[in-house]
Amino acid sequence: MGKVRIRKVKVLAKEILKVIGDQIATDFETNKILVGQLLTGRVSKKIRNKVAGYLTTLAKIEVKKASQQEKELA
């Protein structure tokens, strides 16, 4: 089973993906800075870190899917 995340984290992450989806990295620290810049004053530090962690997880999943597709094509 995976981690349980509150709805607010998922909604904020989707908003960020729409705005700067190409800048999301597989590194938590980079994502934390990006989220902090976009959500300044809107959320607490705890929520910011949860959103950054969720974005990192989504980015890693995308990288894994891309590598699996390359293996299937080869």
State the pLDDT at residue 1.
67
10 Å CB burial of residue 50 (0-12, 13-18, 19+) is buried
State the pLDDT at residue 73.
81
CB 52 within 8 A of CB 31: yes
pTM: 0.88
Q: Which amino acid is at 30?
A: T
The pLDDT tens digits for 20-68 are 989 999 999 999 999 999 999 989 999 999 999 999 999 999 999 999 9
What does 14-55 look like in DSSP terms, one character per residue?
Answer: HHHHHHHGGG--S-HHHHHHHHHHHTTTTS-HHHHHHHHHHH
Is it the case that residue 3 has pLDDT exceeding 90? no
* Cα 37 to Cα 43: distance, rounded to the nearest angstrom: 11
